[in-house]
Structure 1
Amino acid sequence: MKDLHTRHRAVLPDWLALYYGEPIELTHGEGRHVWDAQGRRYLDFFGGILTTMTAHALPEVTKAVAEQAGRIIHSSTLYLNRPMVELAERVAALSGIPDARVFFTTSGTEANDAALLLATAHRGSNQILAMRNSYHGRSFSAVGITGNRSWSPTSLSPLQTLYVHGGVRTRGPYAALSDAEFTEACVADLKDMLGQTRGVAALIAEPIQGVGGFTSPPDGLYAAFREVLKEHGALWIADEVQTGWGRTGDHFWGWQAHAQSGPPDLLTFAKGIGNGMSIGGVVGRAEVMNCLDANSISTFGGSPVTMAAGLANLTHLLEHDLQGNARRVGGLLIERLRAICAQLSAVREVRGRGLMIGIELVRPGTDEAHPEAAAAVLEAAREGGLLIGKGGGHSTSVLRIAPPLTLTVAEAEEGAAILERALNEL
């Protein structure tokens, strides 16, 4: 393993992060478990950053991939592609957006990049509103609208970005307000900002901030924002790369917690739909999606193999009501974790929805983020046989828990017990 780590460092850039003091190589997986090169088994509570949505080595997906690969692997979007059309039909219907069109990409970063292109072209403006503490990908345009310093390496951008309050409920100048007062204050801030701008193209927002530490505003905030945006002709882009496909349990899409004003103009998706295959995309109103007046294609977006995987994975998700499982098992898991953390002075908050849960760590007796503690718990959990993630705003001090949506009650309890031991080591 040390030899592979040395080779990794010799040919890959320094900024390509690896978890753990002694990084591990994952060689295979099954269900909710993975194995490393030493043969050690782990319960996977992170799913390749919320990407293994249903299960590792899901038979329906592996079968669909093998069968499609045996026919044709690649053609590009210059040719008719039956699996792409079929998946687009299903995504359009599930999106809740009337007269929707779908464009497939290979990642969430590329999906958000495409949404920004569409919104700015449609509106004839490069002004974008984004949320503080947000993350939207690693491309040049995406880092330019990312409100989390840890994940935005440059201030250079083709876009003029203005950051709005509201994505983080329990920190910042409005944290002490009630939910209604919080929403009112954030709407007032948005109105004030729009009153000083000219022709904003769109607001892009994660219904639940992923890399930012699974933070979210009160339900209804983005609906209130939408009403203000409509007055200015600005679009609403919902970044559902991490929240989509039923992971929150309560809703199929994160935007549905803010559904009073209807669906977003554009919705971006990726990660879980492919269950590990490289699928991203944007779905939106035909008026916006059709606005480009120049030729465009995608060489790899909509690949027959990835589309076949997405169709099989989505079918499994819907037929087995994995959204319902996320609600039931996730509800039990978050309550179990809250009970574990209730007496721990290093835990500031346990938050989340469904199987998207964050544990924020602080220095005891303060509100100061404690990234060293998060790193220590990450290591202790791995030693105990559990893989989790981490994230957060000003520093990576939030433990991120997002298992595959097929998680069982017994596995949730097993993971919680390992986390309890890891947290108690603090």
Structure 2
Amino acid sequence: MTGLYDRHLAVSPEWLALYYRNPLELTHGEGRHVWDADGNRYLDFFGGILTTMTAHALPEVTKAVSEQAGRLIHSSTLYLNRPMVELAERIAALSGIPDARVFFTTSGTEANDAALLLATAQRASNQILAMRNSYHGRSFSAVSITGNRSWSTTSLSPLQTLYVHGGVRTRGPYAELSDERFIRACVADLEDLLGHTRGVAALIAEPVQGVGGFTAPPDGLYAAFREVLDRHGILWISDEVQTGWGRTGDHFWGWQAHAASGPPDILTFAKGIGNGMSIGGVVARADVMNCLDANSISTFGGSPVTMAAGLANLSYLLEHDLQGNARRVGGLLIERLRAVGAGSPAVREVRGRGLMIGIELVKPGSDEADPEAAAAVLEAARAGGLLIGKGGGHNTSVLRIAPPLSLTVAEAEEGAEILGEALHAAA
């Protein structure tokens, strides 16, 4: 492994971070497990950053990819593309957005970039509202609306971004309020902010903040925001790159936790739909999607091979009710992890819904984030045969748990036990 690591360092940017003191080379996977180059098997609770949504090496997806690759790999959007149209039809119907149009990209970053292009063009404004602690990708425009300092690599921006309260429930100036008063305070903050601006294009928000540590506002916050936005003609972009496709269990899309507002004007998606293939996209009302008055295509978005993978993966997800499994098994897993966390003075909070769970670590006896503890637990979990992620807006002190949605009860129990031992070992 040292030889491959040295080669990686010789040709890769210094900022291209790797997990673990001794970085891991994964060679193959099956179901909810992966293997490394030394033959060690791991239970995968991170799924390539919430991307392996159904299972590793899912036969239905690999078969669809192989068959399509044997016919035609690439054509671009300049030609009619049957798999792309079929997947767009299914996503449009599932989105909840009336008269929906779908545009495919190759990543969540590119999807959010396209959504910003649509919103700013439609509203003739470069002003964007974003949530504090948010993450929307690594392109120049996406970084400029990212409210998480750890991932905002430049202050230069093509957009004027204004940050709103509400994405983090248990930290910040409103943390001690009840849910109802929290929502009222965040709405008042939004109203006050809009009183100092003119012509804002859109609010972009993750229903559950992913990189930010799986934090979420009380249900209904974005419905309350929507009432304000509508009065000002401001579009709502729901970033569903991590929350989409039933991962939260209770809902197919994260925005549905705020359903009193109806669907967003624009919805972005990526990650899980491709189960590892590069798919992203934007769904928007026809009047918003069609607002561009210049040419635009996608060379690789909507590739026949990735569309075939997306169709097979989405069909498997729906036919096997993986949203229901995320709700049932995720509910059990979060109960087990809360029991584990109750016995550790380093655990500030175990939060989440479905199979999107965060464990926030602090220095015992304080509210101070402890990124060193998070790194130590990550290592200890690997030693125990479990792969997890980390994130958070407070120095990367949140363990992120997001297994494939086909996770079994036995695997949830096993993972919770390993995590409990890892927390004890790290302490």
Place the TM-score, normalised by the shorter chain, in its bin: over 0.9
CA deviations on 1:359-386 (whole Å, 9 max, x unpaired) are 0000000000000000000000000000
Shift, 1:25, TM fit: 0.3
Give the distance between the partners of 1:105 and 1:302, measured in 2 at CA.
7
Matched ranges for 1:255-404 at <5 A = 255-404=255-404
CA RMSD of aligned residues (A): 0.3
Give 1:343 deviation, angstroms: 2.3
Q: Which amino acid aligns with 2:166?
A: G
CA distance in structure 2 between the aligned counterparts of 1:191 and 1:152, rounded to whole angstroms: 26
Shift of 1:344: 1.0
Residues 1:37 and 2:45 aligned together: no
Task: For 1:40 and 1:249, locate their aligned partners in 2 and report how far apart those are by CA, in whole Å.
Answer: 31
Give the whole-Å Cα distance in 1 for the aligned partners of 2:365 and 2:417: 25
Matched, 1:161 2:161: yes
The amino acid of 1:91's aligned partner reads I
C-alpha deviation, 1:99, in angstroms: 0.1
- Distance, in Å, in 1 between the alignment partners of 2:45 and 2:107 is 21
Q: State the partner residue of 2:418.
A: 418
- Per the alignment, in what secondary structure is the counterpart of residue 104 of structure 2? strand
Deviation of 1:394 (Å): 2.5
Query: Quick one: distance in 1 between partners of 2:37 and 2:261?
Result: 50
Q: Is the 8 A contact 1:149 1:394 kept in 2?
A: no
**Alignment map for 1:26-425 (pairs within 5 Å):** 26-425=26-425
Q: Distance in 2 between matches of 1:173 and 1:7?
A: 47
Query: Where do 4+ consecutive residues of structure 1 move more than 4 Å?
Result: none
Counterpart AA for 1:52: T
User: Using the alignment, how far apart are the partners of 1:33 and 1:373 within structure 2?
Assistant: 25
Q: Which runs of 5+ in 1 are unaligned?
A: none
Indicate the SS of the match to 2:112. Answer: helix
SS of the residue corresponding to residue 309 of structure 2 reads helix
Task: Give the distance between the partners of 1:417 and 1:347, measured in 2 at CA.
Answer: 16
Report the Cα offset of residue 144 of structure 1: 0.2
- Give TM-score scaled by structure 2 length: 1.00
SS at 2:348's partner residue? strand
Secondary structure, aligned partner of 1:8: helix
Rounded to whole Å, the distance in 1 between the matches of 2:336 and 2:384 is 18
CA distance in 2, matches of 1:244, 1:310: 13
**2:34 aligned counterpart, secondary structure:** strand
Aligned equivalents of 2:394, 2:379: Cα separation in 1: 21
How far apart, CA to CA, are the structure 2 residues paired with 1:268 and 1:406? 23
Matched residues in 1 for 2:92 and 2:343: separation? 46
How far apart, CA to CA, are the structure 1 residues paired with 2:112 and 2:281? 8
Q: Which amino acid aligns with 1:265?
A: D
Letter paired with 1:406:
S
- Measured after TM superposition, the shift of residue 261 of structure 1 is 1.1
What are the superposed Cα offsets for residues 102-134 of structure 1, whole Å, 9 maximum, x if unpaired?
000000000000000000000000000000000
Given residue 227 of structure 1, which amino acid in structure 2 is its aligned partner? E
SS of residue paired to 1:156? coil
* Alpha-carbon distance in structure 2 between the residues aligned to 1:293 and 1:198: 24
Tell me if the contact between 1:223 and 1:259 (Cα under 8 Å) persists in the aligned partners: yes
